Homo-oligomer: A and B are copies of this chain.
Amino acid sequence: MARVTLQSIADRVGVSRMTVSNAFSRPDQLSGALRERILAVAAELGYLGPDPSARSLATGTTGTIGVLWASDLRYALADEVSARFLGAVADELGHAGLALTLVPASVGGAVVPARDVAMDGAIAFSCDPELPALDWLQRRDLPLVYVDMVAPEGEVAITIDDRGGARAAAQHVVDLGHRRVALLTSGYGPEPGVVTGPLTASAARHRVITERLAGWLEPLVAAGIDPLVVNQPDDYSSAPLAAARMLDRPDRPTAVLCLTDVLAQSVLAAASDAGLAVPDDLAVVGFDDHPLTLRTRPTLTTVRQDVDAKGRAAARALLRLVAGRADSSLSVPRGRRLPVQLAVRGSTVGDGS
């Protein structure tokens, strides 16, 4: 049984192939009666609508947007905050009838997804600017939006105010009178453990880390505080261990600022194990406003970012870029830096009871 195509339907109905195409794609181009007849025959033959690949070739649009992810997808998605971002993007694109394709960053094998997968545009999320896969996307001249990373000059970047948020977090613990402060990060340099010597931007594997570190330092330095910096191995399952070791030191900090809420939760667990009361013996601040911050006890003080808004902003900016390709009179979207907000909860300030 040969495959059903526009042609076979056209033959059966006795019209031109173009008319059948219009019946599906441009209903206003033919009479209602004929359209009905064509659709009836199509249904009878089991035709499902125009072949996506063929249509892509003819129109030059694919109906899907790519997302290039920093690291191994397996780990990236296991973070609820990133996942929510992705969900928001997918949702927003879905409204525009676009699907979302996760583009593996691999460039080794015969197939290089960043080069070989069809898409109308792409979002680079939180990835290394040097990533080879990103280079492919750029060379393809696809509409591109950069999220949570440094974008090339003139490109559209969506970020949050990481530095301002970190600054507020650090100021908060300084205002509470803490003098021995630890910074718990990850992805800073190659070695886990206590970081000695001055902090350098180049050691951070990511813009987000650089910014948050810089933000934390401002109020601390102003207050004459020299923080203990601890670098956490990427493997999150060992986080409790690193946190525990930090709390075991003779100069144990009274406040810990953490790169993410998940790291902060590990600190809460370690504090509990060490018999330390939070916030009286130890204040803990996270970052991101992960949903879990409300489920921990005490609840977690954190810097709130609106990931949904970030996802929507990225999706919308990209949609405008894509539209701008077809109609150059449209205005070009501009990058945005979304505000953040310190959310003070039980892990830094007791309820007074």
Listed in ascending order, the chain A residues whose CB lies under 8 Å from chain B are 46, 48-57, 60, 62-64, 66, 72-80, 83-84, 86-88, 90-91, 93-95, 97-104, 106, 109-113, 115-118, 136, 139-140, 236-237, 239-240, 262, 265-266, 268-269, 272-273, 291-292, 294-297, 308
Contact = CB atoms under 8 A, between A and B. Distances in A.
Given A48-B140, A73-B91, A78-B83, 8 more contacts: A53-B56, A53-B57, A56-B118, A72-B87, A74-B91, A77-B86, A94-B104, A266-B295
A58 B63 CA distance: 19
Contact of A84 (B66, B77, B112, B262): B77
Given A99-B113, A101-B101, A136-B48, A62 B53 contact: yes
Contacts of A74: 84, 87-88, 90-91, 308
A78 B73 contact: no
Contacts of A292: 265, 292
Given A53-B53, A295-B265, A296-B269, A104 B113 contact: no
A127 B190 CA distance: 42
B116 A94 contact: no
A83 B102 CA distance: 13
Contacts of A109: 97
18 contacts: A48-B140, A52-B118, A62-B118, A73-B91, A73-B94, A77-B83, A77-B84, A77-B90, A78-B291, A80-B83, A83-B83, A93-B104, A94-B104, A97-B106, A97-B110, A99-B113, A236-B291, A292-B292
A230 to B, nearest CB: 17
A190 to B, nearest CB: 24
Contacts of A100: 101-102
Contacts of A93: 104
Contact of A115 (B48, B66, B78, B112): B48
Given A56-B118, A136-B48, A295-B269, A111 B97 contact: yes
Contacts of A84: 74, 77-78
Contact of A57 (B54, B80, B106): B54
Given A118-B52, A236-B291, A87 B77 contact: yes
A294 B237 CA distance: 8
A89 B95 CA distance: 25
A65 B212 CA distance: 37
Nearest to A75: B87
Task: Select the residue from A99, A104, A110 with max chain B CB neighbours within 10 A.
Answer: A99
B57 A294 contact: no
A104 B111 contact: no
Given A53-B53, A103-B99, A94 B113 contact: yes
Given A94-B104, A101-B101, A117 B64 contact: yes
B75 A291 contact: no
A94 B68 CA distance: 13
A108 to B, nearest CB: 10
A64 B101 contact: yes
